[in-house]
Amino acid sequence: MKIGVPKEIKNNENRVGMTPAGVFELVNQGHTVYVQSTAGEGSGFFNAVYQEVGAIILETIEEVYQSSEMIVKVKEPIQEEYALIQPNQIVFTYFHFASSEALTLAMINSNAICIAYETVEDEDGTLPLLTPMSEVAGRMAIQQGAKYLEKPIKGRGILLGGVPGVTPGKVLILGAGVVGVQAAKMAAGLGAHVTIMDVNMKRLRYVNDIMPSHVVTEYSSVYNIKKHIQTHDLIIGGVLLKGGKAPKLITRDMLKDMRPGTVLVDVAVDQGGCMETTKATTHEDPTYIIDDIVHYCVANMPGAVPYTSTLALTNVTLPYVLKLANKGWEKACIEDKSLAMGLNIVSGKIVYSEITEAFEWGLQYA
């Protein structure tokens, strides 16, 4: 198969869809890999290294899309890329369709085969291609939150770990999945007091078993959320309804109950966000303030640490890329149920029901 790896063009997205190690495997198995010039530079992989393992370097993004039967990338296509996608081309990447009607319609119209990393799902319900980036984002959420709690950038002026004689800061985490647990681990390591909430009791039991005693679990209810937002300095959104729109757990009205300078980090922004006042931001301009509450809502957090994230991502995507290349998407998806769960839009039809539900379109594209 002819496989294309374009350069990411989303703001400050420095990851790349395939490392030289991945190209090496594909070329060894008889495939042709086109890599756009400088696509890997942000992650430390230069053209020459790709060429050494057999990649063909193409100068422009247009050439990559035109030459390839499958595109392997990182982030959802942005508007400039919509017209580049070819009918029947496999596009294997994060899509997060439920958060963008424009992207969804563009991919329906492209007649491509859109396989979304974030909905590939193992039998136990875990998401193997989302997990490593959620690990990165969960850990980063505390780094970023701690920074924006500083007074010069309009935070409350709290040092999360406190100091001897002064109580530490308080972190509230919504969702005890991958993002939530990684965030809890980092916050606990700094010495902050952590409250973590979920509706899944199995997750709360797990957290309770593995975390130190200054991480407390609480069932996620409106009442409990309203109570805790009044006293917590940093609030992390890490909830997910697979493939669908995130539930709005913090409404605009609740901001007035928080103390000025409270920081919200809505990691769930890529699925629309779990806070009513969330709107996606970029690494270039990551925060905004509403009612004295600092909002950080960057939809590609791992893009800022590409040396870590590209390796973590491609470690898990490569086995699936190999299956798609060796068997074609239909056979690969028939034989691998986890991969089949990644099919979101196929030849103009939505095949993942949560997307249809997100837009109230009825069944016109199903």
List interacting residues with ligand CC(=O)C(=O)O (CB under 6 A). 75, 94, 118, 130, 133, 270, 300, 302
Q: Residue 56, class by beta-carbon neighbours within 10 Å (0-12 exposed, 13-18 middle, 19+ buried)?
A: middle
Query: What residue 54 binds from ligand CC(=O)C(=O)O, Mg ion, ligand NAI, none (CB within 5 to 8 A, per partner kind)?
Result: none
Please give the sequence-ordered ranges of beta strands (E in DSSP) within 202-354, or none if there are none.
215-219, 234-237, 263-266, 287-290, 293-296, 343-346, 349-350
Quote the tokens at residue 182: 């990684």
**Token pair of 42 as six digits:** 């942000």
177 touches which of ligand CC(=O)C(=O)O, ligand NAI, Mg ion, none (CB within 5 to 8 A by kind)?
Answer: ligand NAI
Helix H, strand E, coil C: the string for 91-114 is EEECCCHHHCHHHHHHHHHHCCEE
Backbone angles phi, psi at 243, to 5 degrees: 75, -10
Shortest distance, position 117 Cβ to ligand NAI, whole Å:
10
Q: How many CA atoms lie within 13 A of 4 on its CB side?
A: 24
The torsion angles phi and psi of 234, rounded to 5 degrees, stand at -125, 130
Least distance from ligand CC(=O)C(=O)O to the Cβ atom of residue 321, Å: 17
122 is an active site residue: no
Our finding on whether 133 is near ligand NAI (CB under 6 A) is yes
Q: Which is nearer to ligand CC(=O)C(=O)O, 93 or 220 (CB)?
A: 93
Token pair recorded at residue 297 = 């809502």
Question: Is 270 among the catalytic positions?
Answer: yes
Q: Binding to ligand NAI by residue 118, rule CB under 6 A? A: yes
Q: Which residue is nearest to ligand CC(=O)C(=O)O (CB)?
A: 133
User: How many residues form the binding site for Mg ion (CB under 5 A)?
Assistant: 3
Rounded to the nearest whole angstrom, what is the least distance from the CB of residue 302 to Mg ion in the complex? 20
Q: Is 284 in the site for Mg ion (CB under 5 A)?
A: no
Report if residue 289 touches Mg ion, rule: CB under 5 A: no
270 labelled binding-site residue: yes
Query: For Mg ion, which is the closer residue by CB, 204 or 265?
Result: 265
Neighbours of 342 (CB within 10 A): 25
Mutual orientation of helices 178-190 and 201-210 as an angle, nearest 10°? 30
Which sequence positions are flagged as catalytic? 96, 270
Binding-site residues for substrate: 15, 75
Q: Which residues bind Mg ion (CB under 5 A)?
A: 285, 287-288
